[in-house]
Amino acid sequence: MIEKALGGVFKVVTAEAAANPAFARRLEDALGKFAEDYVERRKAESAVANFHPFIAFRNETPEGFRKQVGKFSAPELRLVVAKHHLDPSGVLKARATKKALVEHIVTAAEKRAARDAKLFEY
């Protein structure tokens, strides 16, 4: 059912693009923008694929960890926050600065390390 509906939609879109050059140009621009965003996201994902903030914090000094996190770009830091669920309450805004993202990640890692130390205290 959905295949038939999508096939009909694509036929209408291609017919309109063939008949209307302005529509075709806008469609091409929108698809190009989507492709650029996708490529950027894939690059950011590959840059932070092996980075785990809690493990990195444990293996580094706090200053070294801050420097390590500071090397990432803002989109990469947003992916780290999303991937490791570092903002469950949604405190960070979509347009948070790189500095705010670094501070948030460092603070979250410090809190996690303190919590883990208490958990395994006998």
Distance from the Cα of residue 74 to its chain's centroid: 9
Residue type, 75: P
What the block records as the tokens of 102 is: 């670094």
**Residue corresponding to tokens 């309109």:** 16
pLDDT at residue 122 in the model: 66
- CA dihedral in degrees (106, 110, 115, 120; nearest 10)? 120
Q: What is the mean pLDDT of each run of 10 residues along the chain (122 residues)?
A: 90 93 93 92 92 92 92 92 88 85 93 86 68
Q: Which residue intervals of the chain are DSSP H helices? A: 2-19, 21-47, 53-59, 62-70, 74-83, 98-119
Global confidence as pTM: 0.71
Q: What is the pLDDT of residue 92?
A: 83
Residue 100 CA to residue 118 CA, distance in Å, equals 27
